[in-house]
Structure 1
Amino acid sequence: MELLAPAGGWEQLEYAIHFGADAVYLASTRYGMRRRADNFSEDELPQVVEYAHAHGVDVHVTVNTMMTDEDTDDLHRYFAVLQRAGVDAVIVGDMGALVVAREAAPDVAIHLSTQASCMNAASARVYASLGVSRIVLAREMSLKAIAEMRRRLPEEIELEAFVHGAMCMAYSGRCLISDYMAGRGANVGHCAQPCRWKYALVEEKRPGQYFPIEQDERGSFIMSSNDMNMLSHLQDLADAGVNSIKIEGRAKGAYYVASVVNAYRHVLDGGSAEAWQDELETTSHRPYCTGFYYGDPGQNQGTVEYARSHQMVARVLGCAPDGLGEAAAFRADAACDVQGNPERVEVLCRNRFFEGEELEVISPDAAVRTCPVKRLVWHAGPDADLKDVERDGLGRIIGPDPSCEGGTLVAVEVANRTMERYSFAVPFELHERDIMRIRRDGQDVGRVL
């Protein structure tokens, strides 16, 4: 099965590819259902496709908002732009957009969006007659229904199914609540997620008095769904005839994409689902379920709205033999020695971490590994103000930074300058775009990282 990953921006694109996606789906600044994502400009699309294709990865572009006549006025030009960029497929939900795509981009495959709620073979055959080569299945379908649909279809019609991420309480995502309550149209990419809000009953003659819809002091989450997690059931999806499995999350950050894609890639390649299931607890998520595949998915009752066990602290920029191990600034500090250490990893700081802390590393070609932070160095840029560093005990100047003209190496106890470079000794080789994280149990994790 193809592993299809979300790419809400450049960093997510790079991580999806680094951790093993076979294809990515993304959007430009128009016609996509995730306007809050970074997305890509039209001018960037050729570069996006070139980068993905250089790594053997296909690019699918979403053009799946609900279309007005005004929206369709520019569609011919837009689909022609996608064809010139070399896009492999477009994901459309509107019938008019489907026809325009076939006319303006005849070399680009057309995939039917889940927004179209296609859940029977007769409907799929009609769409196929109009040029659709793949059906992104309605999320309400069971595995039994998918298997029956597959049995009734010719093999050349592909089936794609969501396997991980947020679920929507509206039928195949076609929701009016956000527009009505928040003035933000979900069907044009501006969903405010009011289904996640807490609700209570108010009687019009008793304003300010809130009555729970359920007997719970927290109120009711009658429209809020759990997140999907099908990592342990990939064989069932394959047996049902699914050709491509899709991870939801174009509004998610790079760490989410990396960790989830990594887990699914390892299991698809023969790894133990049980061994990789814990990896999916490290990212921000609601309680997990298996969607509608085995019956009623249940609801998120708000006991845990979002949870994660880890926080990304650094992105690996590179790794090389540790030439600083013999520096005079370190020789007197026996506590900083790393036995048999051959490498020094250079990282881009994303969140704070300290000398001596134990970090976890996720790499696409290995199980999760751990390493202590030893001989931590800040690579201060040419514009950094260092006059008070040693006086205030904030660090110890080692000397010029050979990797940056005008830069300075400073031995420090904490990496706390977001998006600045640090390095430290590690006992094994790492590669660009590997991720370093730390366990942060019990913290309010927020939505994405």
Structure 2
Amino acid sequence: MMQNKLTQPEILAPAGDWERFEAALDFGADAVYLGGTQFGMRAASAKFTPELLEKATRLAHQRGKRIYLTCNTLPRNQEIPLFEGFLEQAVACQVDALIVADLGLLALVRQYAPDMPIHMSTQTGIVNYAAANQLYQMGASRVVLARELSLDEIAEIRAKTPRELEIEAFVHGAMCMSFSGRCLLSSYLTNRDANRGACSQPCRWSYHLMEEKRPGQFFPVFEDEQGSYILNAKDLCMLPYLDKVVEAGVDSLKIEGRAKSSYYVSVVTNAYRQAMDLYLQDPARFQIPDWLLEEVYKVSHRQYCTGFFFGHPQDCQYYETGGYIRNYDVVACVDRWEDGRCYATQRNRFFAGDRVEILAPGQKPFALEITDLRDGEGTSIETANHAMMQLSFACPTQVPPHTIIRKAVSEV
């Protein structure tokens, strides 16, 4: 089951369930990473049973895509005996690689499945070429670098490691205030172990100070009466600098978000896919059009930053709120297009006469005014206001299934 060497940089998308998995495939991912029901760092997104994993892998391979299975927790003693069975299922499902953080699990994979490609997780904390080379000697085919590295450091790792060793780096999504996800805050405060997939995200909470002789009197950490989100990191976005990431030697550009929505997976994957295609067409003249840069602002997100890629972060914390910015809602998803009409399933309320955007895989979104809105029985209606109702409307442009219909939040 040896992995074929990548011939061009890979867009690697997350999938927390089947809907998000299909979204990743539809909107241009070269590979998808997902979790089984054990050993994954997103306990809430452990949706892929052995049966579903086999189905996902079969579909991905039919479409020329790859599946990477996460087993990147730091397992305790009582979990180790379970790993051999987990590994046997992964091999039976023909996944393309395992993402591993623990050296013990690395050794067990080499013992029980010597042909299985191994990707060392960002949780391993790989920050130099010596560690990368050692892991390669131990059997790793890819290293997922720590998120705390600059482009210059990545380039040096690339220059001082075998070309056969693939390099992966996160380029988009939520950041962790701790070192590459190695955090104990959640364990201490809520008894939920972040290193075993159950982080309660206390870094997103609002904090006040309390003086011991004045119990019950809370003082803001700084002048805002709402308190301070002193640990809250902005989201990472390297879309405008995709060329610099590739030129530093990154083979796989990873999008964070197994707990995010299928809409997030669709839009962000689509943006990086199209940007990568533009880069590959003419690297020397690479420039991302404004409309494509705007796409990543049309999903639920925190303020963006570039993390450590350009050195020590200067503006990567956000102290005012731990919440998200959301400017668009999905109002429907296309099931089919036929004879000038979109047949779709409703996701949020919208009205005849609304102006929406249509986002099809691999295409630039276009605006459309909703006309001739009908329910599933063909009766003319003014409002699509029932969750998951079947509907149709006039659409002169043919679009494929799973096309997204979205609307600015201010208009919803």
For the aligned pair, the TM-score class normalised by the smaller chain equals over 0.9
Structure 2 equivalent of residue 439 of structure 1: 408
Q: What root-mean-square deviation, in Å, do the aligned CA atoms of Structure 1 and Structure 2 show? A: 1.4
Structure 2 equivalent of residue 108 of structure 1: 116
1:296 and 1:421 map into 2 onto residues whose CA distance is 50
Aligned: 1:3 with 2:11: yes
1:309 and 1:75 map into 2 onto residues whose CA distance is 43
Q: 2:24 aligned to 16, 24, 33, which one?
A: 16
TM-score by length of 1: 0.85
| Residue identity in the other structure for 2:156 | E
2:317 and 2:25 map into 1 onto residues whose CA distance is 33
2:113 and 2:307 map into 1 onto residues whose CA distance is 34
Describe the SS at the equivalent of 1:3.
strand
Q: 1:293 aligned to 309, 317, 335, which one?
A: 309
Aligned: 1:377 with 2:374: yes
Aligned: 1:27 with 2:35: yes
Describe the SS at the equivalent of 2:329.
strand
Q: 1:415 aligned to 376, 381, 384, which one?
A: 384
Contact preservation (8 Å) 2:144, 2:168: yes
Structure 2 equivalent of residue 334 of structure 1: none
Once the 2 structures are TM-superposed, how far is the Cα of residue 265 of structure 1 from its aligned partner?
A: 0.8
Structure 1 equivalent of residue 244 of structure 2: 236
Once the 2 structures are TM-superposed, how far is the Cα of residue 116 of structure 1 from its aligned partner?
A: 0.4
1:206 and 1:304 map into 2 onto residues whose CA distance is 27
Q: 1:199 aligned to 186, 207, 218, which one?
A: 207
Q: 1:363 aligned to 360, 364, 371, which one?
A: 360
2:410 and 2:80 map into 1 onto residues whose CA distance is 48
Structure 1 equivalent of residue 295 of structure 2: 279
Aligned: 1:427 with 2:362: no
Once the 2 structures are TM-superposed, how far is the Cα of residue 305 of structure 1 from its aligned partner?
A: 2.9
Contact preservation (8 Å) 1:371, 1:427: no
| Residue identity in the other structure for 2:310 | Y
Alignment of 1:128-207 (within 5 A): 128-207=136-215
The verdict on how the C-alpha distance between 1:90 and 1:38 changes in structure 2, with shifts beyond 3 A counting, is closer
Q: What are the Cα deviations for residues 99-151 of structure 1, in whole angstroms up to 9, with x where unaligned?
A: 11122222321000000001111111111111101000000011111111111
Q: What are the Cα deviations for residues 425-445 of structure 1, in whole angstroms up to 9, with x where unaligned?
A: 1121111011000011399xx
Describe the SS at the equivalent of 2:189.
helix
Describe the SS at the equivalent of 2:231.
coil
Contact preservation (8 Å) 2:229, 2:322: no
2:58 and 2:140 map into 1 onto residues whose CA distance is 24
Contact preservation (8 Å) 1:232, 1:273: no
Contact preservation (8 Å) 1:82, 1:105: no
| Residue identity in the other structure for 1:315 | C
Whose radius of gyration is greater, 1 or 2? Answer: 1
Contact preservation (8 Å) 2:239, 2:272: yes
2:407 and 2:273 map into 1 onto residues whose CA distance is 22
1:359 and 1:51 map into 2 onto residues whose CA distance is 31
Structure 2 equivalent of residue 264 of structure 1: 272
Once the 2 structures are TM-superposed, how far is the Cα of residue 229 of structure 1 from its aligned partner?
A: 0.3
TM-score by length of 2: 0.93
| Residue identity in the other structure for 2:396 | P
2:411 and 2:321 map into 1 onto residues whose CA distance is 14
Q: Which runs of 5+ in 1 are unaligned?
A: 322-342, 380-407, 444-449
| Residue identity in the other structure for 2:305 | C
Describe the SS at the equivalent of 1:74.
helix
| Residue identity in the other structure for 1:86 | Q
Aligned: 1:312 with 2:327: no
Contact preservation (8 Å) 1:163, 1:230: yes
Q: What are the Cα deviations for residues 409-429 of structure 1, in whole angstroms up to 9, with x where unaligned?
A: 322111111122111111211
Aligned: 1:350 with 2:347: yes
1:229 and 1:304 map into 2 onto residues whose CA distance is 17
2:172 and 2:395 map into 1 onto residues whose CA distance is 33
Contact preservation (8 Å) 2:171, 2:254: yes
Structure 2 equivalent of residue 302 of structure 1: 320
Contact preservation (8 Å) 1:77, 1:104: no
| Residue identity in the other structure for 2:357 | E
1:52 and 1:71 map into 2 onto residues whose CA distance is 29
Q: What are the Cα deviations for residues 195-225 of structure 1, in whole angstroms up to 9, with x where unaligned?
A: 0000011012211211222222221111110
Q: Which runs of 5+ in 2 are unaligned?
A: 1-8, 279-286
Contact preservation (8 Å) 1:318, 1:347: yes
| Residue identity in the other structure for 1:421 | Q
Alignment of 1:61-72 (within 5 A): 61-72=69-80
Identical columns (%): 44
Moved more, 13-22 or 36-45: 36-45
| Residue identity in the other structure for 2:312 | D
2:296 and 2:410 map into 1 onto residues whose CA distance is 14
Once the 2 structures are TM-superposed, how far is the Cα of residue 303 of structure 1 from its aligned partner?
A: 4.9
How many residues in Structure 1 have an aligned counterpart in Structure 2? 394
Structure 2 equivalent of residue 401 of structure 1: none
